[in-house]
Amino acid sequence: MAAAPTLTLHPELHELRACNLHFAKGKTWDFETENQQTIADHWQRETAKNPNMWNGRQVKLVDYGFENGILTGECVETSFAAYLTWRDLGAPDKKAGNLFGSALLRSRDGALLFGVMADTTANAGKIYPPGGNLDLSDIRDDGTIDMDRSTYRELEEETGLTRQDVVPRERFIVFDGVRISATILMDVAIDADQLRQQILDFSFASEEQEIADIRILRSYADLKDPMLVPYAKKLAKHILPS
């Protein structure tokens, strides 16, 4: 496996050629196994503050490398509570990464559209492209991980847009501390204002209502909100005019 990128304070963006990830069936995450009580206590505290969170099963990247545009790695099944504890404790297992797919939506008139996460989510108020964690449905029959399936699923769940509504363009990967965003730039043949309203109408009518608002980003001047997550800002700066 290629060496993992050195963790830096500033996000690093690269062209993404492929994600070659394997699911280790039956293997557990050492962090989860060794910190069960800490995880249970943390989950109890967090759900007391936000009872809408759900401790579902997900797929976690526990070892990885990146070389020549190719992400390689091993994934295991874990709980959302374990991931949340790991994240909130400052990611003590440095071999692991928070890998997720991102749908970088670009409207017909050239704007990017980012979601503002609802108060019911674990990332309340934060601003970033539609996306989310890997889950068990993203594992192919041969044990490899289908990143595209994950990205398009999250796109549809959060915005109502499907594969048929977008045209995929370039692919990027952003390393932002322990965050790893595997990103697809997607063009949508709708102007930004109309697309924003369409997504909000969908979100407000959905049971989850994960997105509280949509920000339209047209230039660097629109990137000043402190709730804009660093990897998302890096992506926007790569695409938008200064």
pTM of the model: 0.92
State which amino acid sits at residue 162: T
Mean pLDDT along residues 45-58: 94
Q: How many folded domains does the chain comprise? A: 1
Average pLDDT score over the chain: 95
pLDDT tens per residue, range 169-220: 999 999 999 999 999 999 999 999 999 999 999 999 998 889 999 999 999 9
Q: Would you say residue 191 lies in a domain? A: yes
Q: Would you say residue 90 lies in a domain? A: yes
Q: Would you say residue 154 lies in a domain? A: yes
**Structural domain harbouring 69:** 12-239
Q: Would you say residue 7 lies in a domain? A: no
Q: Would you say residue 227 lies in a domain? A: yes
pLDDT at residue 220, rounded to an integer: 97
State which amino acid sits at residue 10: H
Query: Binning pLDDT at 50, 70 and 90, where does residue 5 land?
Result: low
Query: Binning pLDDT at 50, 70 and 90, where does residue 9 land?
Result: low
Q: Would you say residue 222 lies in a domain? A: yes
| Strand 127-128 with 57-67, pairing | unpaired
CATH number, domain of 120, equals 3.90.79.10
Residue 6 clears pLDDT 60, i.e. is over it: no
